[in-house]
Chain A
């Protein structure tokens, strides 16, 4: 049995790998674009979880930021206007949008910090509240403010145009294309990832953060202010969620739809786990999830042709909804496969109280 069926399956597999290698350069910029909000969300998750706080409210923070950024940019454009300047089609409206997005996400993460750290509320419930509130408030305000004003909007940041000569280089060309044919927010992701990676493992802040996430009492006994450090990290984490939201409306689509984050905040949580709580690892995971999302587009743009005799018909028979659900499927599979081997910071999910009753 195996011998009979094994050969064609292996054949198809090889063709599949060949096809993936074939289409990857073409969709590379799309992949990074899709990865950007996931990676930014994951950085938010790392800031939280490394210091011992679970944050499942990233989804809601992203959604609120996306909405607030879009609204602020649109209102600014409508009332004050202003021509784009400089690279990326920068405009005052877009900058105001980004700043507003960050502020709103920071506000929500401050709420999360207060509930989890000061109040000792359950951290998963706190995140759930943020998700439900974000869905409700953005839906409510969308109906109230944006729907009656269909021409609201401030456009999007423009992508950098990589010179053709560089793009045509083998391998280096498409990697450069991937990272540089982007708007400013997506481009900033790689910088932020590297920066956070270095700080986490080389700086005093990083050492203290890791200690607080693993064994807060030990950190406390050497004079580290656990509460303050956790507050600071959770709030700063909000900046990343804000950037992720801003990316969605101000660099990605240029419009806002209810629930447009579509689970990206949760995929980001999976990326944190898959990336073993390191920024670079989470970025790699985000790229993988993004690739599974871009794959459907690749199949539509460049369907496997003649050279993939066996693969072609199979790919065509797969309904489009499967490609749409691919990122979610891949997330589940990765999570199930990796979670046992990837250990979270030990204090994750546990509120820290200073005084414990001891004999």
Chain B
């Protein structure tokens, strides 16, 4: 199929043939073929862990393929490192931005390809002019002297794209570029991508696991599952169901059956809560809301608008500056993690490697991580290894954690199983409130479904659930009510049944400022602060 299509069209700008990459125990890429035409937006669709990023890392020289070849304009090439890739006109916008936060926008853009005033010193003037020029042309002017770390995520992404433009990219790879954007920002970026293909003839590889976006922006779609190409489609001839089945390999239910919600009394009540970030700046400015028993309260927002800090303040990991939080009427504003744990608060943290697990410890120690001090796992100061083991084996069985022993280290589990282990620890006891921060980030569809079902199950049991997710779709799918965070404030709380995707997206992007001017004013104050 691929053959006949590529013969009918101009020679592909990029062709990857039979690319294979093995990691210990994993076949990440299994003889993958991919061709991208000049001026085409080619989507690479697949689940988390399907092998998309590995393939692109090979293209970009960050990983060496075990087999296979890469052709640019029909010429076979070997790409040994990013500088090879850049020399050949390949640029990549990584999912986790490759920006140095303490450097300025200009420094980040010209890094590695610096204009020189003489053999030693940089020529800043030339760089600035060029950056401003590119920004004007594509509609995102940004102060070259602003510190990248102080820009919003959306603007950081624009800097990443400027980096590629500055290097005259012919082939631009974007790895999950919309994960951190609002629907409106996403559409804006799509506009820029189309402009690029039309005006400059750039070929774009668009990596995503979101069906609707792929259908909207791509000229062609290649689907990858478990390291193999399982099909290629043209948007006009396919639909979400077809793509989903290709991607996952079985019939998937795109939505969880949530049933009816029967909210009870308020469990968590937050009043005017203010929280600071690690650097001591106030990033949550007086947020009030409540989560009732038997409901899922979702917090939507672009990453970095204070959601993580807000949630951490309810788990004892972060100090509240002022305001009050109560759990079933009891003041928990300054409660410690242990007090909250004992009061029936479960917490699935966003960063499971930082907070959730100790990768070098066995599963047993991880399962009792916050119960290790209490009966039956300890008597006084003495640990009871048998009780710990028993509990672990029960949890592994109940939550379907795939492992051959309770004593292997947590680091040996796959991401999905690590998250299930955390879920087993946090869900497997009597709970009043369950805080889920990005509970499915980076997981495969099977694990996502499992965790969603478990969460809904707990809601039916009458637990109050506070859900934070950068994936608006996840929020819309699970929540009964939705609060939108923007610049540290909860700008709206809406009933999920009446929620409109567009409207929430707009709230996430502008905080409900009626006019576009107001939003732009916000942005420019951002930039002023940054510089």
Contacts and interface: CB of A to CB of B under 8 A. Distances in A.
Contact of B122 (A203, A210, A355): A203
B62 A207 contact: no
B387 to A, nearest CB: 35
B116 interface: yes
B116 A204 contact: yes
Contact of B103 (A205, A214, A357, A359): A214
Nearest to B52: A359
Interface string A198-211: 01001111011011
B98 A221 contact: yes
B353 to A, nearest CB: 13
Interface in A204-233: 204-205, 207-208, 210-211, 214-215, 217-225
B114 A207 contact: yes
B406 to A, nearest CB: 25
Contacts of A225: 81, 83
Contact of A221 (B60, B87, B116): B60
B107 interface: yes
Interface stretch (B43-51, B131-139, B474-482): B43-51
A151 interface: no
A262 interface: no
Nearest to A215: B100
A164 interface: no
Interface string B238-266: 00000000000000000000000000000
Nearest to B99: A218
Contacts of A355: 62-64
A215 B54 contact: no
B480 to A, nearest CB: 32
Given A219-B112, A220-B62, A358 B100 contact: no
Nearest to B414: A359
Contacts of A300: none
B316 interface: no
A214 B101 contact: yes
Contacts of B57: 358
Contact of A224 (B26, B97, B102, B111): B111
B53 interface: yes
B224 to A, nearest CB: 11
Contacts of B101: 214-215, 346
B293 interface: no
A207 B120 CA distance: 11
B111 A219 contact: yes
B54 A202 contact: no
A352 to B, nearest CB: 12
B498 interface: no
Nearest to B49: A359
Contacts of A221: 60, 62, 82, 92, 94, 98
- Highest count of chain B CB atoms <10 Å: which of A208, A223, A224: A223
A324 B83 CA distance: 54
B163 A203 contact: no
Nearest to A206: B122
- Interface residues on chain A, size class: 20 to 34
B20 to A, nearest CB: 15
B3 interface: no
Interface string A310-349: 0000000000000000000000000000000000001000
Contacts of B92: 221
Contacts of A203: 120-122
Q: Name the residue in A203, A355, A358 with the highest tally of chain B Cβ atoms < 10 Å from its Cβ.
A: A358
Interface string B60-86: 101110000000000000000111111
Interface residues of B, number: 43
A207 B122 CA distance: 9
A211 B111 contact: yes
B103 A210 contact: yes
Contacts of B355: none
B86 A223 contact: yes
A354 B62 contact: yes
A214 B113 CA distance: 18
Given A207-B114, A223-B112, A359-B49, A217 B120 contact: no
A315 B23 CA distance: 68
A308 to B, nearest CB: 42
B107 A207 contact: yes
B79 to A, nearest CB: 11
Contacts of B221: none
A221 to B, nearest CB: 5
Contact of B120 (A204, A210, A211): A204
B14 interface: no
B98 A218 contact: yes
A183 B64 CA distance: 54
A222 B116 CA distance: 17
Contacts of A223: 81-87, 112-113
Contacts of B332: none
B120 A215 contact: no
Given A207-B107, A359-B49, A215 B99 contact: yes
B506 to A, nearest CB: 32
B28 interface: yes
Given A207-B107, A218-B99, A218-B100, A359 B28 contact: yes
B23 A359 contact: no
A214 to B, nearest CB: 5
Given A215-B98, A358-B53, A204 B23 contact: no
Contacts of B102: 210, 214, 346
Nearest to A347: B100
B52 to A, nearest CB: 7
A214 B148 CA distance: 13
Contacts of A358: 53-54, 57
A208 B52 CA distance: 29
Interface string B16-57: 000000010010100000000000000000001111111001
Contacts of B122: 202-204, 207
B51 to A, nearest CB: 7
Contact of B86 (A205, A211, A222, A357): A222
Contacts of A214: 100-103
Given A207-B114, A214-B103, A218-B99, A199 B50 contact: no
A219 B100 CA distance: 8
A220 B116 CA distance: 20
A218 B101 CA distance: 10
A202 B121 contact: yes
A108 B529 CA distance: 45
Nearest to B64: A355
A210 B103 CA distance: 8
A316 B23 CA distance: 70
B127 to A, nearest CB: 11
B382 to A, nearest CB: 33
B114 A211 contact: no
Given A203-B121, A215-B99, A224 B112 contact: yes
A204 B110 CA distance: 10
A62 B64 CA distance: 41
A39 B114 CA distance: 31
B352 to A, nearest CB: 15
28 contacts: A203-B122, A207-B107, A207-B122, A210-B103, A211-B100, A211-B103, A218-B97, A218-B98, A218-B100, A218-B111, A220-B82, A221-B60, A221-B92, A221-B98, A222-B82, A223-B81, A223-B82, A223-B85, A223-B113, A346-B101, A354-B62, A357-B23, A357-B26, A358-B53, A358-B57, A359-B28, A359-B50, A359-B442
Given A210-B103, A358-B54, 20 more contacts: A203-B122, A204-B116, A204-B121, A207-B111, A211-B107, A215-B98, A215-B99, A215-B101, A218-B97, A218-B99, A218-B100, A219-B111, A222-B82, A223-B86, A223-B87, A223-B112, A346-B101, A354-B62, A359-B49, A359-B51
4 nearest interchain CB pairs?
A223-B83, A222-B112, A359-B49, A218-B98
